[in-house]
Amino acid sequence: MIMTTSKPGETVEPGALGRVTFLDGKGDLPMLEISTRWSAAEIYLHGAHVTHFQKKAEPPMLFLSQCSRFAEGQPIRGGIPVIFPWFGRREGLGQHGFARLKTWELKEVVPAPDGSVSVRLRLPDGPEAAGFPRFTAEYIVTVNQALTLQLVVANPARDAEFTFENCLHSYFEVGDIATASVVGLKGLAYEDRVGACVAGRESADALRVAAEVDRIYQDSTGPLEILDPSLGRKIRIEKQGSASTVVWNPWVAKSRQLADFGDEEYRRMICVESGNVGPASIRLLPGAASTLTVKLSTEPLK
């Protein structure tokens, strides 16, 4: 089912159990509201940004700051920003690339017989990409019992390589950061970006946050879990095409410095981001393509 036009308030029912409604979201930015028999989600075309995913009878999986700006040219704080084609700061350029600031094109809404709904979006051409070889970027979001994200980047050139970084900068809701932990990082080398960049190796079975955390773990390809006793659940992060994991929580001082983040909101969030950054940057040969796939799911914490 290819969607070429949409109007606020228009509802599409691609399957008997799935529904997509086109709305004017916060800041009058166009938004897709998706509901299935298992869950609900929201996607803004601004940045192809998933701002909400929630299974029925559960708290939201994703954290969204109450101070977030919903405006053209501004990133949304929370949810899942799409970081591309670079991560972090680059001299003379904005932070985390331009994909999260562009209005993506809705190309297709695809139903599945079981009631799942997939939405395919495309990053439009623009002057921001003038310094890069020609490329295409598409983003497929599938909503059912889980939230599955696929960022597909292709290099259609005949003779030019394309090197880039990508990251799905996922903000997760937790009941209390003091009791939450991240499992699956033990033994991995990381770069600690708090203060002077220092190299380290994770020794903990479960990483706990008790101060500002900003680490890039490399050779991180396996599944991760966020254990959250306060909410009684486990968030599972499964990924393919990703060699890096970033863990971030701004803690007290940094929270107060961020204009679009509440002073106390660090207590109920943690970022566990999947992608390819730094030495794990992706080098696409002419005619090649790369897919970053992340599946996010929840289950009761036993």
37: CATH: 2.70.98.10
| pLDDT tens, position by position, 196-207 | 789 999 999 999
> Is the per-residue pLDDT at 15 higher than 80?
no
Question: Which residues, other chains included, contact 172 with Cβ-Cβ below 8 Å and sequence gap of 6+?
Answer: 61, 62, 63, 226, 235, 269, 270, 271, 272
Domain that holds residue 76: 11-174+228-300
Backbone angles phi, psi at 27, to 5 degrees: 65, 15
- Looking at residue 1, its pLDDT comes to 44
Q: Which of 82, 63, 41, 260 is nearest to 177 (CA)?
A: 63
% of the chain with per-residue pLDDT over 70: 94
Flag whether 204 is in a domain: no
Flag whether 215 is in a domain: no
Over range 158-183, report the average pLDDT: 97
| pLDDT tens, position by position, 52-73 | 999 999 999 999 999 999 999 9
Can you tell me the distance from the alpha carbon of 186 to that of 128, in angstroms, rounded to the nearest whole number? 38
> Is the per-residue pLDDT at 12 higher than 70?
no
> Is the per-residue pLDDT at 4 higher than 50?
no
Q: Which of 166, 50, 32 is nearest to 106 (CA)?
A: 32
> Is the per-residue pLDDT at 16 higher than 80?
no
- Looking at residue 9, its pLDDT comes to 61
Flag whether 187 is in a domain: no
CA 69 to chain centre: 17
Flag whether 246 is in a domain: yes
- Looking at residue 195, its pLDDT comes to 80
Flag whether 208 is in a domain: no
| Total tally of structural domains belonging to the chain | 1
| pLDDT tens, position by position, 65-123 | 999 999 999 999 999 999 999 999 887 788 999 999 999 999 999 888 889 999 999 99
Contact 233, 300 (CB under 8 A): yes
Q: How would you list the strands of the sheet with 18-24, edge to edge? A: 11-15, 18-24, 30-35, 39-44, 49-55
- Looking at residue 14, its pLDDT comes to 53
Flag whether 182 is in a domain: no
For residue 78, give both structure tokens: 């929370």
Q: Which of 154, 165, 169, 188 is nearest to 291 (CA)?
A: 154
pTM score, two decimals? 0.94
The pLDDT confidence band at residue 7, using thresholds 50, 70 and 90, is low
- Looking at residue 111, its pLDDT comes to 85
Flag whether 108 is in a domain: yes
- Looking at residue 278, its pLDDT comes to 95
Phi-psi category of residue 73: left, alpha or beta, with phi > 0 → left and psi -120 to 50 → alpha: left
Lowest mean pLDDT among 90-94, 181-185, 265-269: 90-94
Flag whether 3 is in a domain: no
| pLDDT tens, position by position, 197-255 | 899 999 999 999 999 999 999 999 999 999 999 999 999 999 999 999 999 999 999 99
